[in-house]
Amino acid sequence: MSAFSAARPGWYPDPSGQRGQERFWNGVAWTEQVRVSRTKRTHTAIVAPTARPAAGAAAAGPREIIPARLLRLEDIISGAVRLVSAKPGWLVGFPAAVSVVMVLVWFGIARMLGGRVLDSIDAGAASFITTIVTLFLLIFAVELAAFAVIATAVVVVAEPPIRGQAIDAATVRAQIIASTPRLAAYMVVHGVLSLAPYFAGAAILALAPILLVFVPAVWACTVWLLVRYSLAIPIILVEGATTIDAMRRSDQLIRGSWWRALGIQVVALALMWCALIVGYAVTFGVGLFLIGVAWAFYVAVVVLLYHDLELRRERTASLLRMEGSDD
């Protein structure tokens, strides 16, 4: 399987040896979809496995991260849990350490600007608001940076097991170095989109409070955009796409599946926040530990959603090509 696991989803000569027949490879395993071969060979020559999996077998790599079929909600959620538990060092310990560093930096920023906040109260409303906004933006920037670091670790560590491959340290290192500028640019865009409703609401409140009724529309637009571009991080890291190309490809994959993508991410976020609430209810340390782990789980969900939508799009394109060849 390892010789074939790098192939993109698509139709390939049947590995069972059946002449004149093609079988659909979903990027992870052979499926039960077959068709009569219409061309001599439409894909790059690849060494196929000696035997295909038995009917109904879930050949999703050495740890069976996901089943070899289109994924349901429960497949994505359980697959994310398996991904995180399969690599506890990188996907549990490392995110937890990043979250601890993030909180320490928060405290450092708060301590540095805390005195200025008190001084700005006497200096006037404008000075006070400026200081508070500066404090908020610094804390938010640190949070975005921490999330980007955790997301990078999750994607580069989770991607090989999903495809049934071993993790190559040199490849991972080169992947991270090459993707860092593009990922940083996307996080800036993501941050601007995330903050847009807050700043829009503040501006409306200051200039024309009667227009506050339009703030929910701003929130709705922001959510719509964030969901459409939610696959950009795995696309940047896996496909090596530029920031703009990653956002464009994410939009293409999400198109027609926006509500499904929203629902899956809402479920993941709900589970994430439930875990955080329980963790903080136990002790602050447990809650702090769970921040990074919860983010890692959410990113794992997004990675699996990316693979599922990619497979669905490829499957649709393959069916259209097959129908076109029939005509």
Per-residue pLDDT of the chain (327 residues; tens, 9 = 90+): 444 544 556 677 777 777 777 777 766 677 776 776 644 433 333 334 433 443 333 333 434 577 767 889 999 999 999 989 888 998 999 999 999 999 999 999 988 887 777 677 776 777 778 888 888 999 999 999 999 999 999 999 988 888 777 777 787 888 888 889 999 999 999 999 999 888 888 888 778 877 777 888 888 999 999 999 999 999 999 888 999 999 999 999 999 999 999 999 999 999 999 999 999 999 988 988 899 999 999 999 999 999 899 888 877 666 656 655 555
Residue 217 placed within a domain:
yes
Tell me which residue of 222, 241, 221 sits closest to 231, measured CA to CA.
241
- pTM, whole model, 2 decimals? 0.76
Does a structural domain hold residue 66? no
Q: Is residue 68 part of a domain?
A: no
Classify residue 248 by burial, with Cβ atoms within 10 Å: 0-12, 13-18, 19+.
middle
Q: What is the pLDDT of residue 320?
A: 59
Both 80 and 19 in one domain: the answer is no
Q: Do 22 and 81 have their domain in common?
A: no
**What pLDDT is recorded for position 323?**
58
DSSP state of 307: H
Domain presence at residue 93:
yes
109 in the same domain as 2? no
Note whether 10 and 129 are same-domain residues.
no
Q: Are 172 and 270 in a shared domain?
A: yes
Q: Residues 9, 91: one domain?
A: no
Amino acid present at 55: A
Give the per-residue pLDDT at 227: 97
Token representation of residue 78: 């359980």
Q: Which string of DSSP letters, residue by residue, matches 112-142?
A: HHHHHHHHHHHH-HHHHHHHHHHHHHHHHHH
Sheet holding 10-13, edge to edge: 10-13, 21-25, 30-36
Q: Are strands 21-25 and 30-36 parallel, antiparallel or unpaired?
A: antiparallel
User: What is residue 35's three-state secondary structure?
Assistant: strand
pLDDT of residue 211: 77
Q: Name the domain count of the chain.
A: 2
Structure tokens at 64: 């069976």
Beta strands 21-25 and 10-13 are antiparallel
N-term to C-term CA, the chain: 34
| Phi then psi dihedrals of residue 34, to 5 deg | -130, 160
Whether 325 is in a domain gets the answer no
Q: State the Cα–Cα distance between residues 19 and 40, nearest whole angstrom.
A: 11
| Residues 23, 171 within the same domain | no
Based on the domain organization, do 42 and 97 belong to the same domain? no
Check residue 292 and give its pLDDT. Answer: 93
Residues of the domain holding 3: 1-59
HSE value, Cβ hemisphere, 13 Å, CA-based, for 231: 28
Helices 169-207 + 215-228 axis angle, to 10: 170
> Could you count the other beta carbons within 10 Å of the beta carbon of residue 306?
26
Same domain assignment for residues 138 and 277: yes
Please give the Cα distance from 202 to 20 (Å, whole number): 65
pLDDT at 297: 96
CA angle 266, 226, 201 (to 5 degrees): 100
The answer to whether position 280 is within a domain reads yes
- Give dist(CA 206, CA 125) in Å, integer: 13
Residues 119 and 195 reside in one and the same domain: yes
My answer on whether 157 and 256 are in the same domain is yes
What does the block give as tokens for 42? 């439409």
195 and 220 inside one domain: yes
Longest dimension (CA), the chain: 84
Report residue 27: phi and psi, to 5°: 95, -15
Place of tokens 């804390």: 139
Written as six digits, the tokens of 12 are 């390939």
